[in-house]
């Protein structure tokens, strides 16, 4: 088994293009570095470096060995970091942006749990449905809810979940209005729709068999706030499409019921975004790991 220290010294000699400059950088005698590299070559039974009093070149095999040595040292540092992250208690600020429905209906109960677990971490939460710029606006993380794929960027994207969207109605509305088990029949009812900048006047519904139907929508109420829509449904004003996690408790206690239970209005993607900055702070890393572990279950119905 090779000594990682020998790999480190070899890499330093190659990086500094010579034993003397590497020795100065490491504050070690040139002769010590030369001896370690010679011993390494002897164990490998190959020549890694051609050196004379006037020249210093890395052999072809030495170059390939150098690239593997760099990777091995990086993995060793990563392994050490895993241990250090567990030992060092996360502390300091975390600034993140989150879509409003995620903040209201999934994350609100989780934040106190995280902060109790990590008492030295402080949280600055920005609630907005706007696509913030993590770099320009100095956010560590962002949680976005989206239907279309996110644009390509240098950000690291991790999927948290894809909760379904249900058609829901109040029991009183069902008593007063007969609803047949066909999507096309929905146009005969009062519809309550969520408004987005790119929203069109249709709903695309998906059957459990894979069938897809698009129906026209002329909403009686159009709103970009899910709380307003849910309250309007509870007030017997009509049928709405809501992400399942938003109406989870109301479906369980019977205050709302699903319409066309074999159909859904597709799903919403929930994604955690982070920057590619190196040396991510332990506080940010701990919060991201917490979100990836806990938030998916908060987005489920069951």
User: In this predicted model, what pLDDT tens digit does every residue of 114-138 receive, in sequence order?
Assistant: 999 999 999 999 999 888 889 889 9
Cα-atom radius of gyration of the chain, to the nearest Å?
29
What does the pLDDT read at residue 92? 87
Coil, helix or strand for 97? Answer: strand
DSSP letter at 54 equals S
CATH topology of domain 92-162+269-298: D-Maltodextrin-Binding Protein; domain 2 (3.40.190)
Q: Encode pLDDT of 140-196 as tens digits.
A: 999 998 877 777 778 889 999 999 999 999 999 989 988 888 888 888 899 999 886
- Give 92: exposed, middle or buried? Use CB within 10 Å, 0-12, 13-18, 19+: exposed
- Domains of the chain by residue range: 4-87, 92-162+269-298, 165-264
CATH of the domain spanning 165-264: 3.40.190.290
**Are 215 and 182 a contacting pair, CB within 8 Å?**
no
> With a cut of 50, which residues of the chain have pLDDT below it?
none
> pTM of the prediction?
0.65
CATH of the domain spanning 4-87: 1.10.10.10
Distance CA 11, CA 8 (A): 5
Distance CA 88, CA 91 (A): 9
What does the pLDDT read at residue 54? 76
Distance CA 290, CA 27 (A): 42
Asked whether this chain's domains 4-87 and 165-264 adopt the same fold, the reply is: no
Distance CA 262, CA 273 (A): 33
What does the pLDDT read at residue 87? 57
What does the pLDDT read at residue 199? 54
What does the pLDDT read at residue 76? 85
């Amino acid at each position: 088994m090779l000594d990682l220290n020998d790999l480190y010294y070899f890499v330093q000699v190659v990086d500094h293009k010579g034993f003397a400059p590497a020795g100065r950088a490491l504050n070690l005698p040139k002769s010590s570095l030369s001896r370690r590299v010679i011993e390494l070559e002897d164990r490998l039974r190959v020549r890694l470096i051609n050196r004379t009093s006037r020249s210093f070149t890395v052999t072809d095999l030495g170059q390939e060995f150098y690239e593997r040595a760099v990777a091995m040292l990086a993995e060793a540092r990563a392994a050490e970091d895993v241990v250090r992250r567990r030992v060092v208690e996360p502390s300091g600020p975390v600034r993140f942006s989150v879509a409003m429905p995620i903040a209201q209906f999934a994350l609100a109960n989780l934040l106190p749990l995280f902060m109790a677990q990590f008492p030295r971490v402080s949280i600055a939460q920005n609630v907005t449905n706007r696509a913030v710029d993590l770099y320009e606006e100095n956010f560590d993380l962002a949680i976005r809810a989206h239907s279309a794929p996110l644009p390509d960027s240098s950000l690291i994207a991790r999927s948290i979940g894809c909760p379904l969207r249900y058609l829901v109605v109040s029991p009183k509305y069902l008593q007063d209005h007969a609803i047949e088990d066909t999507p096309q029949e929905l146009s005969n009812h009062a519809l309550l729709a969520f408004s987005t900048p790119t929203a069109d006047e249709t709903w695309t519904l998906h059957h459990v068999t894979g069938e897809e139907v698009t129906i026209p929508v002329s909403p009686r109420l159009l709103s970009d706030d899910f709380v307003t829509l849910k309250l309007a449904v509870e007030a017997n004003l009509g049928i709405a499409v809501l992400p399942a996690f938003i109406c989870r408790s109301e479906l369980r206690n019977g205050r709302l019921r699903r319409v066309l239970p074999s159909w859904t209005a597709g799903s919403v993607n929930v994604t955690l975004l982070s920057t590619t900055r190196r040396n991510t702070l332990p506080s940010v890393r701990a919060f991201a790991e917490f979100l990836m572990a806990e938030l998916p279950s908060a987005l489920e119905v069951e």
